[in-house]
Amino acid sequence: MLTRIDHIGIACFDLDKTVEFYRATYGFEVFHSEVNEEQGVREAMLKINETSDGGASYLQLLEPTREDSAVGKWLAKNGEGVHHIAFGTADVDADSADIRGKGVRVLYDEPRIGSMGSRITFLHPKDCHGVLTELVTSAPVESPEH
C-alpha cells in the first residue's frame, strides 16, 4: 500500500547552487546527501515533513554525474525541473508486483538501492500519464547501540 509522497525528484545542473536556492528562499536544510553511482546522480535530500506512517517526505535535488545517466539525458532535453515523483510503501516488492499485474511497466525486476539505503523501483512514465514514478521502501531505522 502506498502511504505517502516519499519525495519529489528535481533535476538540476548545479546541486550546490540549487541547495542554496532552497535554503535561502524557503529555509529548507539538507538532511542527507550522497552519490549514487548506479543511478548516475549526486543528490541532496531536504526533509519537508514527517508523515503519519512513521516516514517522511522530502525534496530530492539531483545533479547528474554523467551525461548518459537518466537525469543527464532528461536535463539535456528538458532543462531543470521536476523529474519524478516517489511514493512510499512498506513493501516495494508487493506493490511492484501488484502494479505490474495491472499492466504498468515496472523498470526493474528486483528493487535497487536508493537514497539512504532505501529499496526503489520505477514505473515507466509512458504508462503513468507522462510522470516517471518511483516506489520507495525506506531502510529500517537502526536502533541505537548499547
Positions annotated as catalytic residues are 7, 43, 60, 84, 134
All three cell numbers of 94, joined, read 508487493
Alpha-carbon dihedral angle through residues 37, 35, 119, 144, given to the nearest 10 degrees: 140
**Should residue 122 be labelled a site residue for ligand MC0 when binding is judged by CB under 6 A?**
yes
Residues touching ligand MC0, count (CB under 6 A): 25
**Residue 39: which of 96, 103, 98, 121 has the closest Cα?**
121
**Should residue 36 be labelled a site residue for ligand MC0 when binding is judged by CB under 6 A?**
yes
- Tell me if 115 sits within 8 A of 70, measured CB to CB: no
Q: Taking the complex as a whole, how short is the minimal distance between the CB of residue 120 and ligand MC0, in angstroms?
A: 5
* Residue from 134, 135, 137, 138 in contact with ligand MC0 (CB under 6 A): 134
Alpha-carbon dihedral angle through residues 77, 81, 87, 88, given to the nearest 10 degrees: 120
Judged by the rule CB under 6 A, the positions of this chain that interact with ligand MC0 are 9, 36, 39, 41, 43, 60, 62, 70-71, 73-74, 83-84, 86, 107, 114-115, 118, 120, 122, 125-126, 130, 132, 134
